[in-house]
Structures are given as structure tokens and as C-alpha cells.
Amino acid sequence: MSIKPVESLDSVVIRFAGDSGDGMQLTGDRFTSETAALGNDLSTLPNYPAEIRAPQGTLLGVSSFQLHFADHHVLTPGDAPDVLVAMNPAALKANLGDLPRGATIIVNTDEFTKRNLAKVGYDVSPVEDGSLESYHLHPLRLTSLTVDALADFDLSRKDKERSKNMFALGLLSWLYTRPTTGTEQFLKNKFGSKPDILEANLAALNAGFNYGETTEDFAVTYEIAPAKMQGGAYRNIVGNTALAYGLVAAAHRSGLQLAMGAYPITPATDILHVLAKLKRFGVITMQVEDEIAGVGTAIGASYGGALGVTATSGPGVALKSEAIGLAVMLELPLVVVDVQRGGPSTGLPTKTEQSDLLQAMYGRNGESPCAIIAPQSPGDCFNAAFEAVEMATTYRTPVFVLSDGYLANGSEPWLIPDVAKLRQIDIDFTTEPNDVDANGEPVFHPYLRDPETLARPWTLPGTSGLEHVIGGIEKADITGNLSYDPDNHDKMVRLRQAKIDGIAKSLPDLVVDDPSGDAGVLILGWGSTYGPIAEAVRLARKDGINVAHAHLRHLNPFPPNLGEVLARYEQVIVPEMNLGQLSLMLRAKYLVDVQSYTQVRGLPFTSIELAAVLSKATANLSGAIR
């Protein structure tokens, strides 16, 4: 127990920032884990440089990890940090703009050398010139403190310096009364085979912790009470892992072999990485020559009766478009994961955006409808993937899962699902003739549809007596024979559309959170903006602003009551990280004058700015009584 006074806080946002080589992601991960173990709710967001080897000490090379933890439900990684840990001048400079006055800054002054300062354009050290006066500044010689603490170790100075992130972690753990036992165990697992490195890291961690306790630099320590959370087992999970697990769980529940074809692309690659490890679950991963082959192999696998999946980002979807159209025509199950990033072209590969909605919706030749599902938080990627598999197999159609960079790399505590309660996915392959011909003889018609779902039979090669050829050329209704008949084409185009539209019948109604029941403004989001929007709504309501909130998970088809919901509100605000793609769809479909609020900075919205939007919108209401 600390001998210093302890102060209680309800929520804290910390950002660890340093050079790519400083181990900030690891430091953040470990602090997250300690925090989760204490029962705080939390949300995290890493921010990586796009260049793998950006020059050391430059702004381009800054890597950061933000963590928001609280004694209540946390919806976002936090708008602005309360604490910045800056390991070098670049990290300070790159992040200072995000800090509110009064925030705490811990800097590693050992790195504030003339050379490093010059690299980022500081003539004088900001630590010394008084420019940081309005912050709580803690200039610490983190590197030399670490090296001093490791004086007795037979390691090179370089190796000793490497442990400075553990020193920082120890210090922060002390400052926020986090236990370090989990990290100690983690280090033992990681460096078990290198005892001297292990001992050095443990010593640095301890030294950091003790430094907080003994130095006069820090007068108080803080504690944050556990949050009230639903009972159960939790882990911290990032969106890409949750998404991969959702696919595996659905494959397991359906009895299908998961077959993924993929080509590496940021920020989707980790889905491939996770699945490649899961051979235990019979998962086939094929890292193929390009994105077209990625979707091609998935389609081939689905045709063979596996669960064909491909995961990519926007540029990859562009390459896959023609083949996704083929899957629309073949009417085979296919899951296409698009982890969206900043576009167009290579755009901002490591940043987030929601600008592929229209690509998923319309980015193919011909009338080529696909279902679209968007998860709303990192953990929710599991559910979205699971549901996509259910939909793809039930309706024999490509289904898009629209994740994004923010969800993919962000993390949150995840209530681990009870496997026994995961829905069963029944797959029924057609193995017998399904129709009779004019003479009453049994025949197989590959495009005879289920009257309820309009799905066609899923019949596997190897099934005797049902041999047939499918392909991309238009087929005759029912028989699936080639057909160039105008009326038949018109009918088939409409049938394929009706099949996707009909999925709406199986969707739950859109739930609107409107506690007063008489809000005039509805804020409607989709995908990863859920957290910032929900937080903004909470802030607005605290200020007495009456707003309703709803979040779309199904982008195609929309939930059945959406039109009715939109009509109920005098004003509908749709924030998106694009130039208004959902707004365009809503306006076109429901003839509702939704107000688009957009931003494409590669970063999530802040809840403060959205709360301001809500405040303005309610002030402008006509006051008309509905």
C-alpha cells in the first residue's frame, strides 16, 4: 500500500506515445490488462505509424496507445488524454495538440537531446522554455533511471535502455494503483528462455513502481473503482480477433469447414493471422497471389461445401468486385470482411474510415445486391461475423461485414460468450431431386427457390444424380439453364433483389433509445461510430438535452421499421466518417431529409464534438408538437 495520499477518480484517459521501437503498444497492452483485472471498464485505441521503419525520432515514427478506463460503462477510447507519456520530443510534439490544458505530461528528458529536438523542429526544449506551463509536467530521466536501476546487470547499455518502457509501466501502475503481478507473469512467459532479459525487465518494472513511491515528483496516487458490469468471465479483445473467432464459432456451430482465401492488407491482415493459427478447428487459410484469388478460392471452397470467407480492406474489395458478382449469380454462401481504412487508393492505410459502404452496396457491375452487416464495437465483431455466416448460409449469398480500422485494432472488455448458448446453424445440402418434370419424373432444378427465403439449393459436387453446371451467365428461373430471354432476365434480376430485401423479415426492429419518448432529434449511426455517438448522447442528456439515439447494424437490407422510425423525428442526424454515404441511402430510400454530419480525418469522432452537434440541433428545432 502506498504511503502517499490516495485520490479517487471516476475515469482516466492515458496515452502512451513513443518511437515505434519504444514498445509503447506493449506497454499499453499490459496497462490495459492490469486495468481490466481490477474491474474497470475500458476501451483502447492503438495508433501505428504507416511506415514500418520510419526514421527514428521523427513525427512519422510516433506510435501511440490510448486507454480510457473508468468506474462506469466506457464507450470510447476517450476524446482527449488526461495523461500523456511521451518517450521523446516527437511523441510530445505529435500528441500535444490533443491535450487539454491541465493535463499531465510525463516526458523522458533523456531523449530531449539537441539532435532529437532538431529532428522535430524544436529550437529549445519545450520542457525548459516554459511553453508547457499550463500542464502538469513531469520531466523524468526515464532512460538513465532505468539504466541506473539495472547497474548490476551484465547487459549492454542498449539492452538496459530497452527496458525503459517497463520502468514507465511500473511508474504508471503505481500512479494508478494497478497491480503488476499480471505483467510479471506475462514477462516470465515471454522471456522465460532469456533469464537475464527477464530479470532486467522485472527489475525495471519494480524500479518504476518504487520510483513513484519514493520520488517527490508525485504527491498522490489515484484509484478508480471497478465499474458495474454484467456478471461473467471477461477478457480484453480487439476487433480483428473477435471477428476471426466469430467466424470460427459459426463454422463450428454449422459443422462447415472454414476456408479463408486472403491477401495481406492493413488493417485486415490480423484476421488471417488469427485464423492461420486455428488448425485445431480445421480452419483452412490460403494466402494467395492477390485479392481476386482470395475471393476466388473462397467461392471455390463454398461451391465444394465449405464456408468460404475472404477478408480485406477497401482496395481489396475493389479487386474482388467482379468475383463477388459471380457469387451473387451463383447464389453461394460467401462472407466478405472489409476492414475499412482511409481511401481512396492507398489512402491512409493505418487510419479508420467508413467510406466503403457504397462500395459494398453498389460496387459491382449489374444489379448485384449483397447483404451488409456492420459491428459496433470491437467485441461486437464476434456477433457480426457469426450473424454473417448465418445469413450467407441461409440465403446463399455474399454477405459483407463492414468493420474498420478503429474496431479492428481497438479493444474492450468482452463478456466471453457461453459456447452452449451459441445458436445452432443448420445447413441443409440438397442431395435428392427437388422437383418433377412435365412427365412427373423427379428432376433436380438448381435454381428452384425456397419459397420462404428465396434461397436456391446448395448442392455439392459428389452428389450422384444432381450433376449440373453453374456459372456467371444469366440462368433460366428454376432450371438454371443458360438463358438470354429478356423476360427471364428481368425476373431473375428482381428475384435476386427480392431475396436480399426479404432478409429484412428476419431482422429485429431497430431499437430507439428515447427515454423521454418525445425527443425531436434522432441521432442515427452505423458501425464503429456507436461508441462516440452513445457517449455524446450521454453527455448531451447530462446537460438536459433531449435526444433519441439509434444504431444501424444491418445496412442492407435495413431493419423493417426504419422508415417509420425516421418519420417519427423532426430531425435525424447521421454522423459518418465519410461524406454522407448512409445519408444518401436513407434519403434515396425513405425520402427523409436526414442531416449528414461528416468527418474524414482518419480518426473517430470525439463525443464532445458530437454532443455539440446535438445541442445545436435541439436548439434549432421548430418546436412543433408532433
Partner 1 sequence: MTTIDLGMPGAGTFGVPHLHEDAPPLNKKELASDMEPRWCAGCGDYSILAAVQGFLPELGLKRENIVFVSGIGCSSRFPFYMNTYGVHSIHGRAPAIATGLATARQDLSVWVVTGDGDALSIGGNHLIHAMRRNVNLKILLFNNRIYGLTKGQYSPTSELGKITKSSPYGSVDRPFNPVSLALGSEATFVARTMDTDRKHLTSVLRAAAEHRGTALVEIYQNCPIFNDGAYELLKDRDEAEARVVHLEDGQPVRVGADKLVARGDSGELTVVEAEGADMSRVVVHDAGADDPSTAFQLSRLDDPTMAHIPMGIFRNVSRPTYEDLVHAQIDDVVNAAGGSATDADLGALLMGNDTWTVAD
> Segment 89-128, which members bind partner 1 (CB under 8 A)?
none
Of 420, 438, 619, 625, which one interacts with partner 1 (CB under 8 A)?
A: 420
**Closest distance to partner 1 from the beta carbon of 281 (Å):** 5
Contact 132, 106 (CB under 8 A): no
Asked if 288 interacts with partner 1 (CB under 8 A), we say yes
**Helix-helix angle 607-619:530-542, to 10 degrees:** 50
Contact 5, 220 (CB under 8 A): yes
Contact 425, 389 (CB under 8 A): yes
Closest to 47 (Cα-Cα) out of 11, 98, 5: 98
Of 90, 105, 117, 286, which one interacts with partner 1 (CB under 8 A)?
A: 286
Distance of alpha carbon 507 from alpha carbon 566, whole angstroms: 17
**Closest distance to partner 1 from the beta carbon of 454 (Å):** 22
Asked if 248 interacts with partner 1 (CB under 8 A), we say yes
**Closest distance to partner 1 from the beta carbon of 422 (Å):** 8
Distance of alpha carbon 546 from alpha carbon 600, whole angstroms: 27
**Closest distance to partner 1 from the beta carbon of 332 (Å):** 10
**Closest CB to partner 1 among residues 61, 296:** 296
**Closest distance to partner 1 from the beta carbon of 360 (Å):** 19
**Closest distance to partner 1 from the beta carbon of 463 (Å):** 6
Q: Residue 183, class by beta-carbon neighbours within 10 Å (0-12 exposed, 13-18 middle, 19+ buried)?
A: buried
**Closest CB to partner 1 among residues 62, 299:** 299
Residue 495 neighbours by CB under 8 Å, 6+ apart: 449, 454, 477
**Helix-helix angle 181-191:24-37, to 10 degrees:** 130
Asked if 470 interacts with partner 1 (CB under 8 A), we say yes
Q: How far is CA 415 from the centre of its chain?
A: 16
Asked if 471 interacts with partner 1 (CB under 8 A), we say yes
Residue 99 neighbours by CB under 8 Å, 6+ apart: 80, 81, 84, 105, 135
Of 366, 465, 508, 515, which one interacts with partner 1 (CB under 8 A)?
A: 465
Task: Please provide residue 531's backbone torsions phi and psi, each rounded to the nearest 5 degrees.
Answer: -60, -60
CA Rg value for the chain: 27
Closest to 44 (Cα-Cα) out of 245, 238, 267: 238
Closest to 264 (Cα-Cα) out of 286, 297, 234: 286
Interface mask (CB under 8 A) for partner 1, residues 472-511, using x and -? xx-------xx-----------------------------
Stretch touching partner 1 by CB under 8 A, among 59-67, 151-159, 433-441, 456-464: 456-464
Asked if 461 interacts with partner 1 (CB under 8 A), we say yes
**Closest CB to partner 1 among residues 136, 235:** 235
**Helix-helix angle 164-175:181-191, to 10 degrees:** 160
**Closest distance to partner 1 from the beta carbon of 261 (Å):** 6
**Closest distance to partner 1 from the beta carbon of 537 (Å):** 25
Beta partners for 521? Answer: 547, 571
Distance of alpha carbon 599 from alpha carbon 533, whole angstroms: 13
Interface mask (CB under 8 A) for partner 1, residues 140-179, using x and -? ----------------------------------------
Given the C-alpha cell 442431395, which residue does it identify? 431
Contact 412, 44 (CB under 8 A): yes
**Closest CB to partner 1 among residues 55, 472:** 472
**Closest CB to partner 1 among residues 466, 540:** 466
| # residues contacting partner 1 (CB under 8 A) | 72
State the cell numbers at 294: 482470395
Asked if 261 interacts with partner 1 (CB under 8 A), we say yes
Distance of alpha carbon 46 from alpha carbon 63, whole angstroms: 8
Interface mask (CB under 8 A) for partner 1, residues 192-221, using x and -? ------------------------------
Asked if 416 interacts with partner 1 (CB under 8 A), we say yes
Residue 447 per-residue DSSP state? B
State the cell numbers at 127: 520542457
**Closest CB to partner 1 among residues 91, 284:** 284
Run of H or E including 572: strand 571-576
State the cell numbers at 134: 499550463
Distance of alpha carbon 295 from alpha carbon 480, whole angstroms: 23
**Closest CB to partner 1 among residues 145, 335:** 335
| Bond before 557 cis per omega within 30 degrees | yes
**Closest CB to partner 1 among residues 134, 185:** 185
Residues in 545-584 that interact with partner 1 by CB under 8 A: none
Of 4, 141, 252, 491, which one interacts with partner 1 (CB under 8 A)?
A: 252
Residues in 584-623 that interact with partner 1 by CB under 8 A: none
**Closest CB to partner 1 among residues 300, 563:** 300
Asked if 352 interacts with partner 1 (CB under 8 A), we say no
Interface mask (CB under 8 A) for partner 1, residues 294-323, using x and -? --xxxxxxxxxxx-x-------------xx
Q: Considering only the C-alpha atoms of the chain, give the largest distance between any 2 of them, rounded to a whole number of Å.
A: 96
Of 207, 238, 330, 339, which one interacts with partner 1 (CB under 8 A)?
A: 330
Residues in 220-239 that interact with partner 1 by CB under 8 A: 226, 229-237
**Closest distance to partner 1 from the beta carbon of 207 (Å):** 24
Interface mask (CB under 8 A) for partner 1, residues 56-95, using x and -? ----------------------------------------
Asked if 25 interacts with partner 1 (CB under 8 A), we say no
SS (H, E, C) 564-618: HHHHHCCEEEEEECCCCHHHHHHHHHHCCCCEEEECCCCCCCCHHHHHHHHHHHH
Asked if 417 interacts with partner 1 (CB under 8 A), we say yes
**Closest CB to partner 1 among residues 369, 379:** 379
**Closest distance to partner 1 from the beta carbon of 338 (Å):** 19
Contact 319, 290 (CB under 8 A): yes
Asked if 36 interacts with partner 1 (CB under 8 A), we say yes
Closest to 229 (Cα-Cα) out of 38, 370, 424: 38
**Closest distance to partner 1 from the beta carbon of 69 (Å):** 13
State the cell numbers at 446: 438448381
Distance of alpha carbon 337 from alpha carbon 508, whole angstroms: 22
Interface mask (CB under 8 A) for partner 1, residues 265-284, using x and -? -------------xxxxxxx
The three-state secondary structure class of 258 is strand
**Closest distance to partner 1 from the beta carbon of 343 (Å):** 23
**Closest distance to partner 1 from the beta carbon of 370 (Å):** 16
**Closest CB to partner 1 among residues 117, 262:** 262
